[in-house]
Chains A and B, each alone.
Chain A
Amino acid sequence: MLHNVRKEAIMSYEITGPPLVSPWMMLSMSEARNDIDETKIVIPGHSVCDAPQQFMRGHGTFIRDGEIVSSLSGVVKQLNRLLMVKTIKQRYAGEVGDVVVARVVEVQAKRWKCDVSSRLHANLPLGSVLLPGGDFRRKDVEDEEKMSGFLKNGELICAEVQQVQHDGTLMLHTRNNKYGKLQQGILIKVPPHLIKKSKKHFHTLPYGMAVIIGCNGNVWVTPALPETTLEEDGSHVNEFQTVPQDIRLVMVRVAACIRILRDYSISIFLNSLTTCYEMSQPYDIKELSDQETSSRLAYLIAARLLQELQQQQQK
């Protein structure tokens, strides 16, 4: 890791630990960042406001000696008289309507338990999946017996959060053609705070493949979106198809791009992904995992994205 630290920095310091600034921090600490108000950043135990009588305490705060104090490390948000703290980095906390990419960890009676890298496993009830024979078919004992035939342990699915229960458990559903089992593709895990919420999380890219950006930080790079894997009678297609090599290369490049965005904590959404892909074209795919190339590329991508953002704001 040391070769990435500037030479001058090494000369004057005695380095006893890892580099002072990790490469991924270097980018987000650069002077280009002025979107964060430093005075609003709080850590647990910091006072959120001076005049507690005029405000109500919201999420992520508590009252100590009559003043509102943060219990989280994050940014203070104010909504009229409500003060709350939003974390910058946290495990995935589901919201209704989120698209998630989950892994089945347990088959139980009438439901599957799925790992969505949230703090509890999510439930996918048998009644909330699309089974052969249409939407309104009653799920009977026979279906229960065939549950592990539909989804086995360790299989990946794409689902939507239908409900968040009071203890934080997520209820999922796949009652739509675009959700369901994921079969061929590359899974990349990123910290969930890097996923930018948007209207669409399924993207068919113009390079002959598709990505599903799960809100829980799982990004699925696939030759085609899952709706095409459902045949007309509604049953899953189980045979694997051979993917042409050029598509495979594109998929690997997209995966490498996502890893660059992750490593340099640039948020992941359609625009950043396509920008990264296009700017990575001059390099070989294997060069993208090289630290020197990736840091240079990440810097350029961040600059381009911030510039685009400024232009949009000026309009």
Chain B
Amino acid sequence: MNSIQNIQQLREFLTVYNTLSERCFNACARDYTTSTLTKDEGSCVSQCIDKQMLVNRRFMLVFAEQAPKALFKQGEQSPTEAIKSASATKSEPVSPPESTQTAIVEEKQFVWETISIENTNFQAMSIISEHGFRMDGRRPAQIRNINTRLGLNRNAEGSCYLEHGNTKVLCAVYGPYEGKASKRLEDRCAIVCQYSTTTFSGLERKNRPRGDRKSTEISRLLEKAFESVILTESFPRSQIDIFCEVIQGDGSNLAACVNATSLALADAGIPMKGIASAATCGIVETKPIVDLTSREETDLLPRVTLATICGRDEVILVELQNRLHIDHLSVVMDAAKATCADVYECLAVVAQQHLKACAPILGN
């Protein structure tokens, strides 16, 4: 931690130094015929540097004053006040009540740390604006627009295209068919899942669309989740293949894949306990936010992906990323569960409508 901090401090110092020297060079250097500075130029440079340094110092002071106020909301105590009140009332067992001086030293350190560290807290703050909106204009408990098309791939038994806002996923289900002998199970069907992302799906262009650690992990998660949804005992010695491809990844990719897969399975007419729905939830300062976008996911925000059957209390998949305080767990899980129920309502309507359109004209 210390070395990271040092490196970052050094980096900041260097940028300040470079901009300073460049500015003063542009402002003062006039004569390029000699290698030395002329008298005028020399005095100009020293004045310039003095001025810039003064400005910088002033900035630092103002920042140190204002940062704690901005970091903590008005209703809550600022760390200074919190520690002071704690030491005054002596009700807080954690903070050492010996002297206010140590508290002040700690407080100072804390302030400087928050300033010098990569200001993560600052980013976390901006996820929800002061008016209670997120970056894309949603409320914290609002999901993105869901848009689906079913039965697009006529070669697959079931297929689905699903959008959660800008996250776009294509899913195809093949089977159940007599698959590879190595995968065959005598009592139930094997489920093989492949998760892949297009090379242009993320912020950076990828070289490998599949097979890296992250995709493999998501594939396994999907397999395990759908093994508990599909009534696998009804197809002994068969295999079901699920292919998920993220065309555009804008956060909650796993949740979008679960939703797309359950719709594709419903389209394929495979018996299931119910339609699974999933949602990703994060937490910002004890407040849950649902259906995260990729901009919100890049923070060190703790986030939970939860999948349930039929929006009920049957959990088939939980994934936690980053560290989450135990007190916040129930809050996030409740929010995620409620969101799963909301998403399920959307998926159920889509599946039912599609089913009617699928029925053959003059069928049996």
A residues with CB within 8 A of B: 16-22, 25, 27-29, 33, 36, 38, 41-46, 60, 62, 64, 69, 71-75, 87-91, 117, 119-121, 167-168, 193-194, 196-197, 263-267, 269, 272, 302, 305-306, 309
B275 at the interface (CB under 8 A from A): yes
Q: A33 CA to B268 CA in the complex, in Å?
A: 22
Q: A64 CA to B309 CA in the complex, in Å?
A: 12
Task: Say whether A120 contacts B269, CB under 8 Å.
Answer: no
In the complex, the chain B residue whose C-beta lies closest to that of A1 is B152
Give which listed residue, A71, A119, A264, contacts B231 with CB less than 8 A: A71
Q: Please, which residues of chain A bring their CB within 8 A of the CB of B282?
A: none
Give which listed residue, A36, A44, A266, contacts B356 with CB less than 8 A: A36
Looking at A87, A263, A269, the one whose CB has the most chain B CB atoms below 10 A away is A87
Task: Say whether B275 contacts A43, CB under 8 Å.
Answer: yes
Extra 19 A-B pairs, beta carbons < 8 Å, given A43-B352, A45-B274: A17-B161, A28-B360, A36-B356, A41-B356, A43-B355, A45-B275, A69-B274, A71-B273, A74-B355, A90-B268, A91-B157, A120-B238, A168-B235, A194-B360, A197-B364, A264-B361, A265-B361, A267-B362, A267-B363
B271 at the interface (CB under 8 A from A): yes
Q: How far is the CB of A40 from chain B (nearest CB, A)?
A: 10
Q: How far is the CB of A181 from chain B (nearest CB, A)?
A: 22
Task: Say whether B269 contacts A89, CB under 8 Å.
Answer: yes
Q: Please, which residues of chain B bring their CB within 8 A of the CB of A89?
A: 157-158, 267-269, 355, 358
Q: How far is the CB of B307 from chain A (nearest CB, A)?
A: 13
Given A16-B147, A44-B275, A119-B175, A309-B362 contact (CB < 8 Å):
yes
Task: Say whether B271 contacts A196, CB under 8 Å.
Answer: no
Task: Say whether A45 contacts B310, CB under 8 Å.
Answer: yes
In the complex, the chain B residue whose C-beta lies closest to that of A119 is B176
B303 at the interface (CB under 8 A from A): no
Task: Say whether B351 contacts A272, CB under 8 Å.
Answer: no
Q: Please, which residues of chain B bring their CB within 8 A of the CB of A117?
A: 177
Secondary structure of the A side of the interface?
A: loop
Across chains A and B, the number of contacting residue pairs, with CB separation under 8 Å, is 149
Task: Say whether B151 contacts A22, CB under 8 Å.
Answer: yes
Task: Say whether A265 contacts B362, CB under 8 Å.
Answer: no
Give which listed residue, B157, B309, B356, B358, contacts A45 with CB less than 8 A: B309
Give which listed residue, A25, A91, A263, A309, contacts B269 with CB less than 8 A: A91
Task: Say whether B275 contacts A267, CB under 8 Å.
Answer: no
Q: How far is the CB of B248 from chain A (nearest CB, A)?
A: 10
B337 at the interface (CB under 8 A from A): no
Q: Please, which residues of chain A bring their CB within 8 A of the CB of B352?
A: 41-43
B357 at the interface (CB under 8 A from A): yes
Closest 10 pairs (CB-CB, A-B): A45-B274, A90-B269, A45-B310, A87-B269, A44-B272, A25-B357, A267-B360, A71-B271, A119-B176, A43-B351
Looking at A19, A38, A73, A89, the one whose CB has the most chain B CB atoms below 10 A away is A73
Task: Say whether B359 contacts A28, CB under 8 Å.
Answer: yes
In the complex, the chain B residue whose C-beta lies closest to that of A19 is B149
Q: A136 CA to B269 CA in the complex, in Å?
A: 43
